[in-house]
Amino acid sequence: MTEVLRYEVGSGTILVEADDNSYGVDHPARNEQGILDVGRRLEDALASVRPAAHAALEAMAELTPEQMEIEFGVKLAGDAGAMIAKSTADAHFVLRMWWTPETVPLHGEETP
């Protein structure tokens, strides 16, 4: 079964589908349409996963890639805000980094 959560965003609201037994979904107030009013801004909910994304990027930046991409799932969880979602059995980050052959440092050498 699923529940519908309402988050405030910008000057309006957004509806988000969540499992009814999801962590953090049991406390919001349900309105007359059966929608659970979370009572918080989407931006504030997403703020809870920013430190994890920032830490992962900082940790990989010392490898000095020309480009770097981080991918992870975010699960919205009512009163709990947001959390990193699992893809398989574990929560995860997918990191992609690119270098051109001329800029790849050899073991023990500095990049130009």
Q: 94: helix, coil or strand?
A: strand
Report how many helices (DSSP H) and strands (DSSP E) the chain contains, helices first: 2, 8
pLDDT at 16: 84
104 — pLDDT class (breaks 50, 70, 90): low
At residue 1, the pLDDT reads 65
Supply the DSSP symbol for 48: G
pLDDT digits (tens, 9 = 90+) for 3-56: 788 888 888 888 888 766 655 555 456 676 777 778 788 888 888 888 988 898
| Chain CA centroid to CA 80, Å | 13
Domain spans in the chain, listed from the N-terminal domain onward: 2-103
Chain segment 46-87, per-residue pLDDT in tens: 888 889 888 988 988 888 888 999 888 888 776 667 777 776
What's the pLDDT score for residue 103? 61
Of 22, 23, 32, 31, which is closest to residue 1 (Cα–Cα)?
A: 22
3-state secondary structure of 44: helix
Q: Look at residue 48 in the predicted model and tell me its pLDDT.
A: 84
